[in-house]
Structure 1
């Protein structure tokens, strides 16, 4: 049996897809294709420039991510942490579970960054900074705070430096996504948007103060004072933009 194709209807929030049943054959494809195959297929569809296909993809993604937001309470981590790569005294001040250790990022940091990238990539920039309506789901703000008081080990220096550089770029990309969210008129609750931006701005200031303090005291490790603040790009992005009032 075949089903009608997707259609769009107008609503106060803009055009959104009306999702019906999935045909048997496409559903079989989706259920059995590998993750790499599905990514290649979706990229090919988006690259085809078929009218409305990108909007349909991102709208469906936003709906899905909104439905699953409650899974990310507790700092943006959906599952309990494993013991690998962490120890009880390595938990950061940002939450109960460590995202960073002296030897590098944990699997939970990678999970958090993937979730944040999916959010800002689908046009949910503010949510990628912080899920305001979900308890403790701070995402990128949480990741910044994971650096507070972190002791660096020579063995993990390269991995930590790379992770913080990526986090810096992610925040800048998320701010760009926030701008597009504002321009498209998709901000539902302005106070939530301001709260999300305010939280990541506060986290960056805390991190700046922490790095400055360590530079003065030389207390974290032998070379701690020589480390530069890692989030300059993120700070610049926020210095030149704020949520409209």
Structure 2
């Protein structure tokens, strides 16, 4: 499965220096707290800071988070064949694996900080892996596809905001168009294949989000 392709320009040197400057002055006691705190507590604190902090807190956080994600997101993702398995050796119905949810988490990390276009190749590769599969109604697989559908809608919204940001976040416009076309083609193929075996197309939200979108 391909890793995330970068369509954004590198953050300006000034922003990177600002991030390093801020990190170099974390109070020692606070740094000890950060190193020993529960992850859920840290998430709650960050959410509260973003909601109540002074003007500019959210944009500063997003810029630092975007830089971190661009450098820390693994380029090599799990093999497509590892994303799904079957409930038993004699079953023909697919079930999701932990690798699927780990891969979705990587896509979310990208579109969550405004790198929507970078998340599309990951989501497209998941859809392409679905094509030869079948699943049961009200199954774990169906639940996983509902999650994927919601992620697709959010990723497309992130792409739209990326385009509208006016901050030169989309450096390779042709690459962005190619990523969107590949995603649209994958969803079209998925719909055709699923309907051919009598299934219900599971990616309606994603399809509605991308249908007719041109830029």
Q: Quickly name the TM-score band, shorter chain normalised.
A: 0.7 to 0.9
Q: How many residues align?
A: 193
User: What is the distance in 2 between the residues matched to 1:98 and 1:241?
Assistant: 29
Counterpart CA distance in 2 for 1:12 and 1:140 is 25
Structure 1 unaligned runs (5+)?
A: 1-10, 81-94, 131-138, 215-224
RMSD (Å), alpha carbons: 2.4
Deviation at 1:153, TM superposition (A): 5.0
SS of equivalent to 1:240: coil
* CA deviation vs aligned residue, 1:172-210 (integer Å, no higher than 9, x gap): 111111000000131121122112212211211221221
- Is the 1:126–1:193 contact (alpha carbons within 8 Å) kept by the matching residues of 2? yes
Deviation at 1:66, TM superposition (A): 1.0
Corresponding residue to 1:46 among 44, 50, 60: 50
Which of these residues, 178, 184, 203, is aligned with residue 231 of structure 1?
Answer: 203
* 3-state SS in 2 of match to 1:207: helix
**Partner Cα separation in structure 1 for residue 120 and residue 13 of structure 2:** 23
Task: Check 1:122–1:100 CA distance in 2 against 1; reply closer, same or farther (3 A cut).
Answer: farther
Q: Is 1:204–2:207 an aligned residue pair?
A: no
Structure 1's 37 and 12: CA in aligned 2 closer, same or farther, altered over 3 A?
Answer: closer
For the residues of structure 2 that align with 1:182 and 1:232, how far apart are their CA atoms? 23
Please state whether the residue corresponding to 2:139 is helix, strand or coil: helix
CA-to-aligned-CA distance 1:124-174 (integer Å, 9 cap, x gap): 1111112xxxxxxxx1112212211113257xx421111111211111111
Unaligned 5+ runs, structure 2? 1-9, 87-92
Q: Residue 115 of structure 1: SS of its match in structure 2?
A: helix
1:176 paired residue number: 157
Moved more, 42-51 or 169-178: 42-51
**Equivalent residue runs for 1:1-245 within 5 Å:** 16=15, 18-19=18-19, 20=21, 21=24, 22-69=26-73, 71-73=74-76, 76-77=77-78, 95-99=80-84, 101=86, 102=93, 104-130=95-121, 139-153=122-136, 157-185=138-166, 186-214=169-197, 225=198, 227-242=199-214, 244=215
1:134 match: none
Q: Which has the higher contact order (CA 8 A, sep 6+)?
A: 2
- Quote the offset at 1:230 in angstroms: 0.8
Larger radius of gyration: 1
- 1:15–1:198: structure 2 CA closer, same or farther, 3 Å change rule? farther
Q: What is the DSSP-based 3-state SS (H/G/I as helix, E as strand, rest coil) of the residue aligned with 1:72?
A: coil
Q: TM-score, normalised by structure 2?
A: 0.80
Distance of aligned partners of 1:15 and 1:99 in 2 relative to their CA distance in 1, 3 Å threshold: farther
Shift of 1:31: 1.0
Q: Comparing both structures, which one devotes a greater share of its residues to helix?
A: 2
